[in-house]
């Protein structure tokens, strides 16, 4: 078990179904389960559950991460007013967005220090591995795109294809923000969690670079203004972010998100 992730999955999450949809209203949480909009056969459900069980056995922390990213991405999509179909796509794909990490060695995945250039190239293959692992599920193309493209960057410097700006599908851009926000605010083998304020400052810093600039501002607005975040005392008002003295990250420092 990885330090910082010793708690077992809550019972409600032990067997979840794809196609999750989230409402921030009282009584609706991660366990609110919907049928996948494109797949409803028992074979699909069994195959999907088998992948989740494999991920749990291989890396429980990553499965926790995938659940949180799913929740955050669906919540953001609802904040943006996207249709229910898009929330279901985000729910299905993000539960498996890091499934490819089961093909990465422990020595790299859990390395507590900076990765070498060669190791970074290896970790970047997890999106391609993930695409292959879900091939038999015959996911909707938009679902597969999230697994494949959630590390693409607005400036075209991401992976695996170096897509830029609106070449990156909208739902993949949304997932990228949710993924990095959770990565920043969670324990990682190579660093401690960021406070919410610092994580949002990093997102603002990367708007127009790593992230779609419009979506980045909307994400910051959601986190800082929604009642759901009242439990985060460190979440600042957007105006405070402009005064934050968060420095541009040094590209030689440990990766903020792998």
Q: Which residues of 5-28 are buried (b: 16+ CB within 10 A; e: fewer)?
A: beeeeeeebeebbbbbbbebeeee
The model's pTM is: 0.77
Asked if pLDDT for residue 129 goes beyond 50, the answer is yes
- Decide if 138 contacts 115 (C-beta within 8 A): no
Confidence (pLDDT) at 38: 59
User: Who has greater pLDDT, 237 or 207?
Assistant: 207
- The fold for domain 15-243 equals Hypothetical protein af1432 (1.10.3210)
31-40, 182-191, 248-257, range with greatest mean pLDDT:
182-191
Least reliable range by pLDDT among 7-16, 47-56, 110-119: 7-16
Which residues lie closer than 8 Å to 150 by C-beta, 6 or more apart? 97, 127, 172, 175, 176, 179
- Decide if 224 contacts 200 (C-beta within 8 A): yes
C-alpha closest to that of 194 among 123, 135, 249 = 249
Assign residue 164 a region: left if phi > 0, alpha if psi is -120 to 50, beta otherwise? beta
Average pLDDT over residues 232-240: 40
pLDDT digits (tens, 9 = 90+) for 139-171: 999 999 999 999 999 999 999 999 999 999 999
Average pLDDT, the chain: 80
15-19, 80-84, 235-239, range with greatest mean pLDDT:
80-84
Tally Cβ neighbours within 10 Å of residue 87. 24
Whether residue 160 is preceded by a cis peptide bond, meaning omega within 30 degrees of 0, is: yes
Which 3 state secondary structure label does DSSP give 79? helix
**Cα–Cα distance measured from residue 209 to residue 218, given in angstroms and rounded to the nearest whole number:** 16
- Decide if 195 contacts 169 (C-beta within 8 A): no
**Cα–Cα distance measured from residue 214 to residue 212, given in angstroms and rounded to the nearest whole number:** 6
C-alpha closest to that of 146 among 73, 225, 238 = 73
**Cα–Cα distance measured from residue 240 to residue 84, given in angstroms and rounded to the nearest whole number:** 33
Which 3 state secondary structure label does DSSP give 207? strand
User: Who has greater pLDDT, 35 or 221?
Assistant: 221
Average pLDDT over residues 105-113: 92
């Amino acid at each position: 078990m990885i330090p910082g992730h010793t708690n077992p999955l809550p019972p409600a999450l032990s067997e979840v179904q794809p196609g999750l949809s989230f409402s921030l209203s009282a009584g609706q949480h991660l366990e609110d389960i919907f049928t996948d909009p494109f797949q409803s056969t028992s074979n699909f459900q069994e195959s999907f559950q088998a992948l989740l069980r494999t991920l749990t056995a291989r890396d429980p922390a990553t499965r926790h991460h995938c659940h949180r990213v799913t929740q955050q991405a669906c919540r953001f999509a609802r904040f943006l007013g996207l249709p229910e179909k898009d929330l279901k796509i985000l729910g299905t794909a993000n539960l498996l967005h890091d499934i490819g990490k089961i093909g990465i060695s422990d020595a790299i995945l859990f390395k507590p220090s900076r990765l070498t250039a060669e190791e970074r190239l290896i970790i970047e293959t997890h999106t391609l591995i993930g695409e292959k692992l879900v091939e038999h599920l015959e996911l909707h193309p938009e679902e597969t795109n999230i697994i494949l493209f959630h590390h693409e960057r607005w400036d075209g410097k991401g992976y695996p294809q170096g897509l830029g700006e609106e070449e990156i599908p909208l739902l993949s851009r949304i997932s990228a923000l949710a993924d990095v926000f959770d990565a920043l605010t969670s324990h990682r083998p190579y660093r401690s969690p960021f406070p919410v304020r610092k994580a949002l400052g990093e997102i603002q810093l990367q708007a127009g670079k790593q992230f779609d600039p419009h979506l980045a501002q909307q994400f910051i607005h959601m986190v800082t203004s929604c009642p759901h975040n009242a439990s985060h005392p460190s979440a600042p008002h957007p105006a405070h972010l402009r005064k934050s003295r968060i420095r541009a990250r040094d590209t030689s420092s440990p990766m903020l998100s792998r």
